[in-house]
């Protein structure tokens, strides 16, 4: 037992990003009724400032790694990587949401507050060292995201998205929680390191551990939209407001992968040869279902949703490798994926127009002639999603399949690579529409790109090109921090 | 000049970066700048020829750290084969940009930007001595070509562009698997992570693995060459691409495939490459390509498609030469690659010139151009003769040397490729007769002959065709050493066995 | 542990959880579906308490409180979402909420 219930300053520092986010979110909610309508607009900037401060705090906290709050949380390279990632996703989300909400006339403080709370949850997930913290982090993140998905209250599509997201998300959480309860019973603790030791020493009953791992797998697979638990993703991404879809496909997903990886690589490390085949099958299914369904979509958001299922499949390939380089590949890929998907959704948000009326692929016709820079940015994102060199997506895939081969997952690598070649087709189709067709009604009536969206496009483009040409820095950091004791 | 290769590699990139900041409204400025940039690219590559030492292997070598944690480095260098291909690239890169002056009117900035980017990718492919770096450049080339076909192409450009991209992507992802397999075997044997070709060459692959890796490489390279039966993207891509795109595609891009066989398949996997079964499969596919391509040419009604199929046939000689696995075959293959770049480049330019004037590629629409456009017709005649391998033009040297090499392996190979040569003469002469001879119809009666700029485009190619045809010795000398390296690698002791003086030992000895 | 052995609690918990899953999958009324989820969470709580009692720890009891708080928050948000759906569509049948598709 700790001598004092009051945590030390070092522990507070390690938890500082979450503290900043919570305070900022609460402040926004408290300030909103006090402020006049004009200064309310500044709340978005305030959220941006909060996120930036949290980002800085996360970087600073990396300087004093270690556990916090009686080992409930741990700040290590892995946690920092994902905290920085979700905070960056948050910053991009604010940039693309700001003009979007103004256009929809739906700007309000609660949006920013919910966003900050959701990211708080993801930060907790990233640094959770304990299954109950995993659960709480996931719930903080999810409950806020449910509301965000249905933020446009009067929009039928958004309602439906929120409902489906909520029902299936809670359903998945229940599985996860049941798994946690069984782990607790089997290993007499929910601390990851203790559980790992109990499993490896054979103290925990194998049957119970097996059932627990299976249940938790179901829960996590739901959260990362991995097959066969991916069915909510298309509806939710299609119905939610575009910037929220962008956020959901990057932030919660990355954080969910972070805990997925951490739990399965530590607590269930001892039985990894049992769960590896399951991940193998799930990876293959996710890639194939995602890609082949995406081929048939005409709705841009729905297509991106299926593509995000496929990309979850690629990440699962790296997880199936069960190695340090596999975990590093997961991290690198999620970073690149967050950038490219956020960027692509930002373009969708721009083109969709008020009320998101134009979300068909065909609506992009001739974008390259009307707004060449927007089109070029989308081209970079799509090429990165395909995995073409000079973009981050290439090295992301490269590391994944390298890790897979290293672990002798030859067939999974072959099938995955073939999948990625098939996937090229539907991304290229967008390029065709954008570059080769004459501008239509939609692109002709397109307003100029607002400042926020400019930032939400420029940052990912630069990031992807840097990752695509000089991947070394990020990869080295990922490899270094992907050590699970 | 320590960084000569980097300078050659990045000159087009520099041009591209400046180009992006030019105002797109000023079309002439963009044209001038793009031409200037690519001409500068050609000029800076000339010191490579003057500074090349044919008694050494890889030259102008540069190494810099890139991704040290996985053993990938920025490692450039060229040997004789790389040299000729780099020069071919800079020359044709410039000529294709020059030839687009009037052909392209809209979205000029993007057009030239894609050409310059492509130039960087192609040069990188021929210079890279690191397998990962090579792969990055290899894939980079896809993107600009996709856009060039997709935006400035003909009617079915969307189909052609996507087909081109998907075919090549599938080929290259499987090649990537092969690369990684080799990489991991190297790691397990030497405990060093490296993508460097020199390091990977030391790897001792188990026979079964070598077999699989070979076919993984094969898929990547064969799609690009393209070898039968992976050629079906080529006629579509060529037919739909704008003229300059076709020129680059045929003259340089396809050579990336054959270069891949020479630089990677043979030296890295010598055991599999000399496996008689493999050699036979490759030879049969090459010969099918030669005959099938030629027969397809005879049936084409579309001028450009005919030239496209002739590429399939000609590249068949190149792969046949490579898998003859002897000095004559391989040297002939490299020379034939250059020849094909020159002659097919000219043929595509020729189609482009008539297309620009008449907007049709139907062979039946033409006829009697000889009287209307005499200069043009002479150029066409030279290109056709060069393509069919008529002495004293360049094609003869290449095809004859390959036949020599093929004959040493098997009489049948030589026989069938000779049949291909005969068919080649048939379709080209028939094409010439149908388009150039006879009476000019009304529509063709007033066509303008070549403009000075167009002549300027053809002149270097014609000169090169005659030069290689009449004085091929420097070419052979440059290729002698790298070719001998490959042969010694695949068939150790070849030179001693055949009582030949090995170029690997003689010049060095004489220097000492 | 006198009387009721641990396994009975676990079996009961599993049964309740299975009932919740079945309810989620087969009931069509959104409120009932939502209740099924709550049933699943409470089934888990039962396991937590049973394990906690067996292990002579208080952790499990505390976890139960966490779960209850989270479930309450989830219920608040969930009911609000269900309410807006009902306002917009005048239905509480899950099968009729299906406007998102191609």
pLDDT in tens, B364-375: 888 888 888 888
- For B137, the closest chain A residue by CA position comes to A389
Q: Say if A1 falls within a structural domain.
A: no
CA distance B443 to B457: 26
**Residue ranges with strand state E in B50-95:** 59-67, 72-78
| pLDDT range class, residue B510, cuts 50, 70, 90 | very low
Residues across chain A: 485
Say if CB C84 and CB A159 are below 8 A apart.
Answer: yes
d(CA B239, CA B306) in angstroms, rounded, equals 9
User: What SS3 state is found at B233?
Assistant: helix
B232, part of any domain: no
Nearest residue in A to C72, CA atom: A143
pTM higher than 0.80:
yes
Whether pLDDT at A285 is above 90: yes
Q: What residues contact A455, with CB distance under 8 A and at least 6 apart?
A: A95
Q: How much is the average pLDDT of B332-339?
A: 91
A2 pLDDT more than 70? no
Q: Of all residues in chain B, what percent are helix, strand and coil, respectively (each to 5)?
A: 75, 5, 20
Helix (H, G, I), strand (E, B) or coil at A97: helix
- Total structural domains within chain B: 1
Give B-chain residues touching A432 at CB under 8 angstroms: 150, 158, 161-162
Q: N- to C-terminal Cα distance for chain B?
A: 26
Indicate the average pLDDT of chain B.
Answer: 87
Mean pLDDT over the full length of chain A: 90
Within a 10 A sphere around the Cβ of B130, how many other Cβ atoms? 25
Among residues A389, A194, A208, A397, the alpha carbon closest in space to that of A287 is found at A397
For residue B321, being part of any structural domain is answered with: yes
* pLDDT at residue B51, rounded to an integer: 87
Q: Which of A322, A125, A305 is nearest to A219 (CA)?
A: A125
Within 10 Å of residue A144's Cβ, how many Cβ atoms?
A: 24
Indicate whether B1 pLDDT > 60.
no
Identify each DSSP E strand in B155-256 by its residue range: none
Instruction: Provide the residue range defining the domain that includes A182.
Output: 9-481
pLDDT at A377: 93
Please state, as a whole number, how many other Cβ atoms lie within 10 Å of the Cβ of residue C27: 15
What's the domain range around B483?
276-512
Under 8 Å between Cβ of B436 and B384: no
Q: Residue B328, Cα to own-chain centre: how many angstroms? A: 19
Q: Which are the contacts of A481, defined by CB distance < 8 A and separation ≥ 6?
A: A76, A77, A78, A80, A81, A331
pLDDT tens, per residue, chain C with 102 residues: 467 788 888 999 999 999 999 999 998 889 999 999 999 999 999 999 999 988 888 888 899 999 999 999 999 999 999 999 888 888 888 887 777 765
pLDDT reading at B512 higher than 50: no
Helix axes A410-436, A372-386, angle to 10 degrees: 160
Task: Name the residue in chain C with its Cα closest to that of A170.
Answer: C37
Q: Are C55 and A192 in contact (CB under 8 A)?
A: no
Greatest Cα pair distance, chain A, in angstroms, is 72
What pLDDT score was predicted for residue A1?
46
Q: Do A298 and C33 touch (CB under 8 A)?
A: no
Residue C22 lies in a domain: no
Q: Is it the case that residue B452 has pLDDT exceeding 90?
A: no
Of A386, A414, A431, the CB nearest to B177: A414
CB contact under 8 A, A178 and C44: yes
The greatest distance separating any two alpha carbons of chain C, rounded to the nearest whole angstrom, comes to: 59
Token duo for residue A294:
């995406």
- How many CB atoms lie under 10 A from the CB of residue A438? 9
Per-residue pLDDT band at B509 (split at 50, 70, 90)? very low
Dihedral of CA atoms C5, C9, C15, C19 in degrees, nearest 10, equals 160
What is the tens place of the pLDDT at every residue in B139-161?
A: 999 889 988 888 888 888 888 88
Cβ–Cβ contacts within 10 Å for residue B283, how many? 23
Answer yes or no: is A40 within a domain.
Answer: yes
- For the cut 70, the answer to whether the pLDDT of residue A54 exceeds it is yes
Predicted confidence (pLDDT) per residue in B52-92, tens digit: 888 888 888 898 888 888 888 999 999 889 999 999 999 99
Radius of gyration of chain A from Cα atoms? 21
Tell me which residue of B23, B156, B14, B137 sits closest to B85, measured CA to CA: B137
Mean pLDDT on A326-353: 93
Taking the CB of residue B285, how many other CB atoms lie within 10 A of it? Answer: 21
Closest CA to B264 of B8, B490, B491: B490
Residues 6+ apart with CB under 8 A from A45: none
- Scanning B433-462 for CB atoms below 8 A from A yields none
Q: Which of residues 429-458 of A touch B (CB under 8 A)?
A: 429, 431-432, 435-436
The A residues from 371 to 430 touching B (CB cutoff 8 Å) are 372, 383, 386, 388-390, 394, 398, 401-402, 405-406, 410, 413-414, 417-418, 420-422, 424-425, 428-429
**C-alpha to C-alpha distance for B494 and C2, rounded to whole angstroms:** 88
Confidence bin at A95 (pLDDT 50/70/90)? very high
Is A485 a residue whose pLDDT tops 70?
A: no
Task: Please tell me the distance from the alpha carbon of residue B129 to that of residue B50, in angstroms, as a whole number.
Answer: 22
The answer to whether residue A38 scores a pLDDT higher than 80 is no
pLDDT in tens, B340-360: 999 999 999 998 888 888 888
When pLDDT is averaged across residues B413-437 and rounded to a whole number, the result is 88
Please report whether residue B59 resides in a domain. Answer: no
Q: What 3-state class would DSSP assign to B192? A: coil
In DSSP notation, A154-222 reads T-HHHHHHHHHHHHHHHHHHHHHHHHHHHHHHHHS--BHHHHHHHHHHT-S-HHHHHHHHHHHHHHHHH
Q: Is residue B113 predicted with pLDDT exceeding 70?
A: yes
Distance to chain B for A374, nearest Cα, Å: 14
Q: Which residues partner with A66 through β-bridges?
A: A75
Residue A440 φ then ψ, to 5°: -100, -170
Better-scored residue on pLDDT, B97 or C98: B97
User: Is there a contact between B340 and B251 (Cβ–Cβ < 8 Å)?
Assistant: yes
pLDDT in the model for residue B511: 40
> Could you tell me the CA-to-CA distances from A49 to A94, A331, B281 in Å, in that order?
10, 26, 65
Q: Output the CA–CA distances (angstroms, integers) from residue C60 to A14, A220, C55, C57, C63, in the order listed.
A: 26, 22, 9, 7, 5
What pLDDT, in 10s, does the model give residues B199-255? 888 888 888 888 889 999 999 999 988 888 888 888 888 888 888 889 999 889 999
Sign of the dihedral defined by the CA atoms of residues A215, A217, A221, A223, in that order: positive
Are A389 and B136 within 8 A, CB to CB? yes
Res. B484: pLDDT tops 70: yes
Region A376-395: mean pLDDT is 91
CATH of the domain at C45: 1.10.287.3510
3-state secondary structure B259-282: HHHHHHHHHHCHHHHCCHHHHHHH
Task: Select from C28, C100, C102 the residue whose CB has the most chain A CBs within 10 Å, as the one to mutate to test that interface.
Answer: C100
Is the pLDDT confidence value at A39 over 80? no
B173 to chain A, any CB pair closer than 8 A? The answer is yes
Highest mean pLDDT (candidates A148-157, A457-466, B187-196): A457-466
Cα A41 to Cα A31: distance, rounded to the nearest angstrom: 12
Range of the domain at C49: 28-90
What is the tally of helices (H) and strands (E) in chain B?
A: 25, 2
Q: What are the DSSP calls for B307-353, one per residue?
A: HHHHHHHHHHHHHHHHTT-SHHHHHHHHHHHHHHHHHHHHHHHHHHH
pLDDT tens digits, B259-297: 999 999 888 988 888 888 989 999 999 999 999 999 999
Q: Which of B352, B287, B312 is nearest to B154 (CA)?
A: B352
| Cα dihedral C4, C6, C11, C16 in deg (nearest 10) | 80
Q: What's the complex ipTM? A: 0.94
Inside any domain, residue C69: yes
The whole-angstrom separation of Cα A223 and Cα A241 is 19
Chains linked to C by 3 or more Cβ pairs within 8 Å: A
Distance from CA of A235 to the nearest CA of C (A): 6
Q: Which pLDDT belongs to residue B454?
A: 86
Residue C100 belongs to some domain of the structure? no
Q: Count up the domains in chain C and report the number.
A: 1
Residue A3 has pLDDT above 60, yes or no: no
- Report which of A301, A298, A393 is spatially closest to residue A347, judged by C-alpha positions: A301
Neighboring chain B residues of A435 at a CB cutoff of 8 Å: 147, 150-151
pLDDT score recorded for residue A280: 93
Does the pLDDT at position B505 exceed 80? no
pLDDT band at B508 (very low <50, low <70, confident <90, very high): very low
Q: Which helix (H) or strand (E) holds B360?
A: none
Query: If you ran DSSP here, which 8-state letter would residue A105 be given?
Result: T
C interface with A, Cβ–Cβ < 8 A, is 10, 13, 17, 20, 24, 30, 33-34, 37, 40-41, 43-44, 47-48, 50-51, 54-55, 57, 59-60, 63, 66-67, 70, 73-74, 77-78, 80-82, 84-85, 88-89, 94, 97-102
- What is the mean pLDDT of the segment spanning B422-434? 88
Q: State the pLDDT at residue A25.
A: 93
Phi then psi dihedrals of residue B128, to 5 deg:
-65, 135
**How many other C-beta atoms lie within 10 A of the C-beta of residue C90?**
8
Looking at chain A, which residue has its C-alpha nearest residue B132? A398
């Amino acid at each position: 037992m700790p001598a004092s219930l009051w945590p030390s300053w070092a522990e507070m520092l390690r938890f500082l990003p979450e503290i900043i986010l919570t305070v900022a979110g609460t402040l926004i909610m408290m300030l909103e009724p006090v402020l006049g309508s004009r200064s309310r607009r500044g709340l978005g900037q305030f959220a941006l400032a909060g996120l930036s401060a949290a980002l800085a705090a996360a970087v600073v906290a990396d300087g004093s790694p270690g556990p916090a709050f009686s080992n409930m949380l741990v700040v290590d390279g892995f946690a920092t990587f994902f905290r920085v990632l979700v905070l960056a996703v948050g910053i991009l989300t604010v940039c693309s949401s700001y003009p979007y909400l103004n256009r929809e006339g739906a700007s309000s403080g609660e949006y920013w507050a919910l966003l900050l709370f959701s990211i708080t949850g993801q930060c907790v997930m990233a640094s959770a060292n304990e299954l109950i913290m995993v659960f709480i982090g996931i719930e903080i993140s999810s409950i806020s995201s449910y509301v965000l998905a249905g933020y446009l209250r009067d929009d039928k599509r958004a309602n439906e998205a929120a409902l489906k997201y909520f029902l299936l998300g809670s359903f998945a959480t229940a599985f996860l929680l049941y798994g946690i309860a069984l782990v607790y019973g089997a290993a007499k603790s929910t601390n990851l390191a203790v559980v790992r030791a109990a499993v490896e020493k054979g103290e925990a009953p194998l049957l119970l551990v097996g059932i627990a791992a299976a249940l938790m797998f179901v829960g996590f697979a739901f959260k990362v939209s991995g097959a066969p638990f991916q069915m909510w993703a298309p509806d939710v991404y299609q119905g939610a407001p575009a910037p929220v879809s962008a956020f959901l496909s990057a932030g919660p997903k990355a954080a969910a992968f972070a805990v997925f990886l951490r739990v399965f690589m530590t607590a269930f490390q001892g039985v990894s040869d049992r769960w590896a085949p399951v991940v193998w099958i799930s990876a293959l299914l996710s890639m194939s279902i995602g890609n082949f369904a995406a081929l048939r979509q005409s709705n841009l958001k729905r297509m991106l949703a299926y593509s995000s299922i496929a990309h979850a499949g690629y990440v699962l390939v790296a997880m199936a490798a069960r190695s340090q380089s596999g975990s590093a590949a997961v991290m690198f890929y999620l970073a690149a994926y967050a950038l490219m998907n956020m960027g692509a959704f930002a373009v969708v948000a721009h083109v969709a127009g008020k009320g998101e009326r134009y979300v068909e692929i065909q609506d992009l016709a001739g974008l390259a002639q009307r707004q060449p820079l927007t089109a070029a940015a989308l081209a970079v994102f799509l090429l990165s999603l395909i995995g073409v060199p000079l973009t981050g997506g290439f090295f992301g895939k490269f590391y994944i399949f390298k890790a897979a081969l290293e672990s002798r997952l030859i067939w999974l690598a072959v099938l995955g690579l073939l999948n990625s070649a098939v996937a090229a087709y539907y991304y290229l189709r967008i390029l065709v529409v954008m570059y080769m067709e004459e501008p239509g009604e939609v692109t002709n009536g397109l307003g100029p790109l607002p400042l926020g969206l400019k930032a939400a496009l420029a940052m990912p483009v630069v990031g992807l090109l840097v990752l695509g040409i000089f991947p070394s820095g990020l990869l080295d950091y990922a490899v270094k921090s992907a050590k699970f004791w | 000049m320590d960084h000569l290769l980097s300078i050659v590699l990045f000159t087009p990139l520099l041009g591209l970066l400046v180009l992006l900041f030019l105002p797109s409204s000023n079309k002439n400025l963009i044209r001038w700048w793009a031409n200037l940039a690519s001409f500068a690219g050609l000029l800076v590559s000339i010191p490579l020829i003057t500074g090349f030492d044919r008694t050494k292997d890889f030259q102008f070598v540069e190494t810099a750290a890139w991704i040290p944690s996985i053993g990938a480095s920025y490692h450039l260098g060229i040997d004789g084969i790389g040299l000729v291909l780099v020069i071919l690239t800079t020359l044709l890169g410039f000529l294709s940009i020059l030839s687009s002056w009037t052909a392209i009117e809209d979205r000029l900035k993007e057009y030239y930007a894609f050409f310059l980017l492509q130039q960087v990718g192609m040069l990188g492919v021929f210079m890279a001595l690191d397998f990962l770096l090579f792969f990055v450049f290899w894939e980079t080339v896809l993107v600009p070509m996709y856009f060039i076909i997709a935006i400035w192409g003909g009617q079915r450009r969307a189909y052609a562009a996507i087909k081109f991209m998907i075919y090549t992507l599938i080929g290259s992802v499987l090649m990537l698997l092969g690369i990684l397999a080799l990489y991991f075997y190297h790691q397990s044997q030497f405990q060093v992570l490296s993508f460097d070709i020199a390091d990977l060459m030391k790897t001792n692959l188990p026979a079964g693995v070598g077999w699989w890796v070979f076919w993984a490489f094969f898929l990547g390279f064969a799609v690009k060459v393209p070898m039968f039966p992976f050629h079906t993207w080529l006629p579509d891509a060529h037919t739909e691409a704008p003229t300059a795109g076709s020129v680059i595609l045929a003259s340089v891009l396809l050579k990336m495939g054959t270069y891949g066989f020479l630089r990677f398949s043979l030296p890295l996997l010598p055991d599999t490459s000399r496996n008689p079964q493999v050699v036979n499969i490759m030879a049969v596919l090459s010969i099918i390509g030669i005959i099938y391509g030629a027969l397809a040419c005879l049936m084409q009604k579309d001028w450009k498609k005919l030239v496209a199929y002739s590429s399939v046939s000609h590249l068949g000689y190149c792969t046949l030469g490579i898998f003859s696995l002897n000095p004559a075959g391989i040297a002939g293959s490299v020379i034939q690659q250059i020849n094909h770049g020159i002659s097919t480049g000219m043929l595509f330019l020729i189609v482009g010139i008539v297309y620009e004037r008449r907007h049709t590629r139907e062979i039946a629409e033409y006829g009697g151009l000889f009287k209307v456009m005499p200069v043009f017709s002479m150029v066409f005649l030279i290109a056709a003769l060069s393509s069919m391998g008529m002495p004293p033009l360049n094609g003869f040297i290449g095809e004859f040397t390959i036949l020599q090499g093929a004959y040493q392996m098997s009489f049948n190979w030589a026989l069938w490729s000779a049949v291909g040569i005969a068919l080649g003469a048939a379709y080209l002469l028939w094409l010439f007769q149908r388009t150039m001879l006879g009476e000019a119809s009304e529509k063709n009666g007033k066509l303008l002959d070549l403009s000075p700029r167009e002549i300027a485009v053809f002149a270097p190619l014609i000169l090169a065709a005659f030069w290689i045809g009449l004085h091929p010795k420097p070419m052979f000398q440059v290729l002698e050493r790298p070719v001998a390296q490959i042969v010694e690698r695949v068939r150790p002791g070849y030179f001693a066995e055949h009582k030949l003086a090995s170029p690997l030992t003689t010049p060095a000895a004489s220097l000492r | 542990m006198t009387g009721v052995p641990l396994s009975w609690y676990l079996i009961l918990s599993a049964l309740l959880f299975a009932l919740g899953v079945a309810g989620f999958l087969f009931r069509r009324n959104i409120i009932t579906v939502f209740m099924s989820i709550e049933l699943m969470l409470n089934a888990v709580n039962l396991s937590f308490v049973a394990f906690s009692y067996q292990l002579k720890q208080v952790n499990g009891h505390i976890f139960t409180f966490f779960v209850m708080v989270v479930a309450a928050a989830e219920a608040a948000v969930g009911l609000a979402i269900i309410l807006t759906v009902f306002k917009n569509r005048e239905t509480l049948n899950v099968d009729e909420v299906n406007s998102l598709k191609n």
